[in-house]
Chain A
Amino acid sequence: MPDEQLLSVRDLRISYRTGTGEADLVRAASFDVAPGEIVCLVGESGSGKTLTGRAILGLLHHNDRMRVSGSVVFGGRELTGLPDRSLRTVRGSQIAMIFQDPVAALDPVVRVGEQVAEAMARRGRRRGRSRVSGEIADLLRRVGITDPELRMRQFPHEISGGMCQRIGIAIALAGDPGLLVADEPTTALDVTIQAQVLDLIAELRRERGLSVLLITHDMGVAARMADRILVMYAGSIVEEAPAADFFVHAAHPYGLGLIRAVPRIDIDRPGRLSAIPGAVPEARNRPPGCAFHPRCPVRLDLCAEEEPAPLRLGGQLVACHRAADMLTGRLSLWDSEAPVG
């Protein structure tokens, strides 16, 4: 079915050359995004989510120490290894990106309207100045900015963070892309603005059939937005599942751990909020076998020795030796432990 996919990433590997050798930051990540689909890439900080998003747009190959291999196919076209000149025809008009820090993503010394105009101008159409400014105003209005004529003339420091993110979305939409890579777009915003920005993204998907690769560590955001979930841990995608399945029965202990770590008010859950003990291992100190095993409550001896291969179970694709047990519900995890006093 790969023909139906808008974006197909296969065996994406990102490694970083250090003084002592190479460290794999992303290992053989493979996933697809279908037209009009919102796919959430979730995981803790340091698991390689952002790098994956940036690699899709070819943002890493200027870094001499970074090596990217594998295949990124967008709309039937292979993007990896393309020179900047060719990537430019993809960036903006086919794939666009918004960022975690919306203020830093805007140039502080250029007026907001000009930055939007720049993203529009690249389409190479020659238009009158007033028509361009009318188009910018329309676009800004489209992303929910009131009084766009005023905002256009302002500098980024004169407007709020939430509005900066809306501008960022406007810039991303200027080229009418098919895929939006949204790298933690709401992390830097406060909760009410978060909801507005997420609603805007969902709305754009509905209206334009925009596909979204939403990178987030916030399971609440993922639950709200996602059609499909990709769970990333230490540079590998350990679980891929339709959102409906994932939040009901995550098949990877890490995925389940992420869900359990979110406070809920709608279900009664006794004891302390569970956290996954420990932290994501550094790329250079990746544990042997399953990278998650030192933190895993249901590990077997096997887990330390052999890296589990991705296994398809129903709609879910899981890289875990205990995935079958997880799904049959024979394993209980952190919440079975006695509340720590």
Chain B
Amino acid sequence: MTADSIGTRWLNRSALRTWRVPHGRVMVVLAGLFLLLVIGWAAFPGLFTGGNPTAVNPLATLRAPLQGYLLGTDQYGRSVYTELVYGARPALEVGLLSTLIGGVIGSAIGVVGGYLGGWVDMLVMRLIDILLALPGLFLALIFIAALPPTLENEILAIGISAVPGFARVMRGQALQVRSRLFVAAATVVGVRRRVILWRHVVPNCAAPAIVLGTLNIGTAIVIAASLNFLGLGPSAGVLSWGGLISSGQGYIDHDWWISTFPGLLVTLLVIAVSVLGDRLRDAMEPSSA
């Protein structure tokens, strides 16, 4: 046995192994705290900043961070931090509501199709396949371009763009549950198919739907930011992180903070959501862990 391999084994045993477990937990705790902070911003923006997000200060335009303003100011002298805080509510609204819409519609299509099978399932899933060929952002873009620019329509468009993903995964889940013995057992005592679908198939499909939903919130927030960056989405009166990134675009070479902080925020939020989603998957679906 060489000294090298002893060294590796020692590392494996003490340092790495003891690091790995709490490492995962630390990430989950950090992600949770970060998410709580953003939820706090969304719920009580007034508690986190004294300012008005739309208040312009012509005397303090393009201030760098920490010079009277935590994250600096934009070209109109508005506090970037205040704008981020007030942008949390629409961002989370879009993330949650669009996921709810997409999750419910997509899961319903997938579960019913997968459970009933037959030609309806074939037809619907081929349509879903066509939609799946388009990236979610592009799909949302098509819908939002066709709708009046309001927050509700943005939620709807992003929600619809999540439908095919949910439908595909939940159909697979329903197919798997359908073939399980308890479904046959309920069938042979004469339980109606409708009852089997509601009482047995749907609850047994719930865990993956919840995990997928959690992960989808992050995706929806990114899509929303991307649409807003492109100038699509709610036109007036709604603060958006994507819009903020876009408005700082022209100043990025000198006044980097206007675009960078909202970009960083979206990135961190998506990471936090996916860390929590993964943890949730481990907890709810022990088989796939």
Contact = CB atoms under 8 A, between A and B. Distances in A.
Contacts of A108: 182, 204
A119 B184 CA distance: 13
B188 A62 contact: no
A208 interface: no
B199 to A, nearest CB: 6
Given A62-B117, A110-B200, A104 B180 contact: yes
B275 to A, nearest CB: 27
Interface string A104-138: 11111110001100110010000000000000000
A97 B185 contact: yes
A104 B181 contact: yes
A149 interface: no
B182 A107 contact: yes
A104 B192 CA distance: 20
B187 interface: yes
Contacts of B7: none
A119 B190 CA distance: 7
A119 B191 contact: yes
A286 to B, nearest CB: 27
Contact of A99 (B185, B193, B195): B185
Interface string B222-252: 0000000000000000000000000000000
A87 to B, nearest CB: 8
B189 interface: yes
A106 B182 contact: yes
Contact of B185 (A62, A89, A109, A171): A171
A122 B195 CA distance: 10
Nearest to B178: A62
Contacts, number: 77
Interface residues of B, number: 19
A10 interface: no
A91 B188 contact: yes
Given A104-B181, A105-B182, A110-B200, A118 B191 contact: yes
Contacts of B184: 54, 59, 99, 105
Contacts of A84: 193
Contact of B190 (A62, A91, A168): A91
A77 B188 CA distance: 17
Contacts of B50: none
Interface in A78-99: 84, 88-93, 95-97, 99
Interface residues of A, number: 34
Contacts of A90: 190
Contact of B203 (A88, A97, A101, A110): A110
A107 B204 contact: yes
B187 A105 contact: no
A91 B203 contact: no
B186 interface: yes
Interface string B173-217: 000000011101111111111010001100110000000000000
Contact of A101 (B181, B188, B189): B181
Most buried by A among B181, B182, B184, B204: B182
A229 B186 CA distance: 28
A92 B204 contact: no
Contact of A122 (B180, B189, B199): B189
A105 B191 CA distance: 14
A41 interface: no
Contacts of A59: 184, 187-188
A92 B190 contact: yes
Contacts of A96: 188-189
B190 A105 contact: no
B185 A88 contact: no
A29 interface: no
Interface in B157-182: 180-182
Nearest to B117: A62
B190 A122 contact: yes
Given A84-B193, A101-B181, A107 B186 contact: yes
B188 A89 contact: no
Interface string A161-194: 0000000100110110000010000000000000
A91 B180 contact: no
B190 A89 contact: yes
Interface string A313-331: 0000000000000000000
A230 interface: no
Nearest to A114: B199
A119 B188 CA distance: 9
A89 B204 CA distance: 26
Nearest to B181: A104
Given A59-B184, A101-B181, A104-B181, A171 B189 contact: yes
Nearest to A89: B190
Contacts of A110: 199-200, 203
Contacts of B200: 107, 110
A122 B182 contact: no
Given A91-B187, A108-B204, A118-B191, 15 more contacts: A54-B184, A57-B187, A57-B188, A59-B188, A62-B117, A84-B193, A91-B188, A92-B188, A99-B185, A105-B185, A110-B199, A118-B199, A119-B189, A122-B190, A122-B192
Interface of B: 117, 180-182, 184-193, 195, 199-200, 203-204
Shortest beta-carbon contacts, A-B, top 8? A92-B190, A92-B189, A91-B190, A104-B181, A105-B185, A119-B189, A97-B188, A107-B182
